Structure 1
Amino acid sequence: MYRFLLSRQWVILTLLALALIPTMIELGFWQFHRHENRIAHNQRIEAAITAAPVPVAELTSPGRTVSDDERYRRVTAEGTYDTEHQYVVRRRTNADDQIGVHVLTPLVLDDGTALLVNRGWIASNGPQTRLPRIPEPPSGEVTVTGRLMPDETTAKSGIKDLKGLPEGMVMLINGTALAEDIGRPVLGGFIELSAPEPSGGTPQLLSSPDHSGIGAHMAYAVQWWLFTAAVPVGWVILVRRELRDRAAARAQEQQAAEQPPATAGV
């Protein structure tokens, strides 16, 4: 009764079903792990931005790479802004997705090293082929608080480091690349300023990182596992349908064989 399963068509169909089951199980676990990683990522951000701020020198130094665990950590620093080596970072958006620039100003610390401070966003006021008017930072000794960030690279950010830009304009925030121009050792990474608030509201301080969403990875995982369960169920349904069709065909053949032949007219 089940010999049809040995036919070429049914062997191929069965092998395909057997191949799909582990593949879709693995895809489900892949999405599940992405869900777990997203939750861990959000928890890492929450812990970093809610922790008490520490002096920046405890987490970074010239030539040091800011790790993922240190990203978004709140830090404090005391020093004087170096407005002679101020930069704007091209093609950056604000919370309303308006295109402008970020204002990047070195803060010279007591030991002579510099910390790059992203003071926030300003409108570019036209094509970004010339420097916009940059609001002045506070003068004299200041204490700042901000979120520690790793140096930006093309590999990690996807932003091309264009050449031939106007003087004082950059594409990436990278202390190693700017150290020679600044003329002093620059701490690894930079900070996104969170305090004090700028006078007049400009530059606009950057928003805290959004860490509320977890995406649809868990829903995708469940979806793949439901597909996995549907494969053997579908295979059984097809087998039963084939059995039913074959039984109906045999009954029809038997009925035709038992029916007496029609009598020819005289």
Structure 2
Amino acid sequence: MREWRFVLSKKWLGYLGIAVAFAIICVLLSHWQWDRRSENLALQDKLDANYNAKPVSIDSVLPTLHSYDSSDEFKPLRLTGHYLTSKTYLARDISYNGYPGFDVLVPLQLASGRVFIIDRGWVATGNDHDYPDSIPTPPKGEVTVVARLAPAQGDVPGRTDPKGVNEVARIQPADIAKKTGLTAYTAAYGKLKSETPSPGAANLPKPALKPQVDWSLNLSYAIQWVMFALAAFGFLIYVIRQEYDARYSDEEDQRWLEEERERKRQKRGPTDADIEDHELDEAGYSSSRPGTMIGR
């Protein structure tokens, strides 16, 4: 074991300290990713609970035109009114399963006179132009709508509403209210779940997809950081072994060669020269001094 005492030198103790420090950082990062996973799982549970909740009145979650609480996201609202079809807007650059298109935004005027923007769903970009081939029309007259609550989208630098068309760059009810002069809820809008009476499948855009919080990446990163910590010690052991080989490999190789020669000799058995020497010894001759008789 004396050969391994070099690992107790300041240099190798310093390397060990670096490996330990790196491993501690990796463990802390792994723990952080694990906490993020737990947070995302809790967020998914909350979204699932809201998504599957029974519909409530708009006044119970939006008491004023400008109020919104993120804890109410995706809660279904039951609203009764009539669509203002002539004031339909299209939200540009909306992706649906990887395909480009638009979301159809139609104001729903309630009995109170207030307007709540309904996102009726997605339609594809046209085959030969940069707008839909057709826009499904909502039911006429009084309609009961169930829509899931969603927050108004924020601004994106460099993106502005196209001029001269009923299109918007972001889904912002306040922007639509300003363009139309309507008294609307400005902090949130609704993603359509159902309409009564139903306009039929032909007049329904594709509904919004159920939200999913991706927590699998957090789990993967947590495991990876633990593996990095273990790899640090594995690399240190590898470097120590390389140093050991550089110091003592010649002696070990020579010892191994001698042992290998002896093993092969014993496996092969005595040679003719060995047998002859043995017979000469038995006859009284010294194999080390040929021709000399040793008296008995």
Band the TM-score falls in, shorter-chain normalisation: 0.7 to 0.9
Aligned-partner SS, 2:71: coil
Is residue 87–residue 168 contact of structure 1 (8 Å, CA) maintained in 2? yes
| Superimposed CA distance per residue, residues 182-213 of structure 1 (whole angstroms, 9 cap, x where no aligned partner) | 22221131111010254243332323424385
Which residue is 1:105 aligned to? 106
DSSP-derived class of the 1:26 partner: helix
Query: What is the letter of the counterpart of residue 120 of structure 2?
Result: R
Give the structure 2 partner of residue 256 of structure 1: none
DSSP-derived class of the 2:72 partner: coil
- Matched with 1:149 is 150
Give the fraction of aligned pairs with identical amino acids, expressed as a percent.
23
| Structure 1 residue 251 displacement after superposition | 8.0
Match of 2:65 among 62, 68, 84: 62
- For residues 90-133 of structure 1, give each alpha carbon's deviation from its aligned partner in whole angstroms, at most 9, with x where no partner exists: 12233x433221110000111111000011122332332x6754
Structure 1 spans left out of the alignment, 5+ residues? 253-266
- C-alpha spacing 1:91/1:219, structure 2 compared with 1 (3 Å): closer
Could you say which structure has the larger radius of gyration?
2
Greater relative CO, 1 or 2 (CA 8 Å, sep 6+): 1
Paired letter, 2:152: D
Q: 1:174 aligns with which of 172, 175, 185?
A: 172
CA distance in 2, matches of 1:195, 1:210: 17
Deviates more, 1:224-233 or 1:73-82: 224-233
Aligned length: 246
- Indicate yes or no: 2:167 matched with 1:161: no
Q: Is the 8 A contact 1:131 1:168 kept in 2?
A: no
Range moving further from structure 2, 230-239 or 38-47: 230-239
1:83 alignment partner in structure 2: 85
Task: Confirm whether residue 189 of structure 1 aligns to residue 191 of structure 2.
Answer: no
Quote the Cα distance in structure 2 between the aligned partners of 1:202 and 1:121: 12
Give, in whole Å, the separation in 1 of the partners of 2:81 and 2:133. 25
State the partner residue of 2:120. Answer: 119
The aligned counterpart of 2:141 is 140
Structure 1 residue 50: Cα displacement: 0.8
Equivalent position of 1:49 in the other structure: 51
Whether contact under 8 Å (1:122, 1:203) holds in the other structure is: no
**2:202 maps to what in 1?**
201
TM-score if structure 1 supplies the norm length? 0.79
Contact 2:121/2:208 (<8 A) preserved: no
CA distance in 1, matches of 2:9, 2:151: 61
Are the structure 2 counterparts of residues 160 and 77 from structure 1 closer, same or farther at C-alpha, using a change threshold of 3 Å?
A: farther
Question: Which moves more between the two structures, 237-246 or 218-227?
Answer: 237-246
Is 1:226 aligned to 2:227, yes or no?
Answer: yes
The CA RMSD over aligned residues, in Å, is: 2.9
Which structure has greater helix proportion? 2
Aligned residue number for residue 23 of structure 1: 25
Q: Quote the offset at 1:248 in angstroms.
A: 5.0
Q: Displacement, 1:250?
A: 7.5
- Closer, same or farther: CA 147–113 of 1 in aligned 2, 3 Å: same
Task: Name the CA distance, whole Å, in 2 between partners of 1:99 and 1:82.
Answer: 26
Give the TM-score taking structure 2 as reference length: 0.72
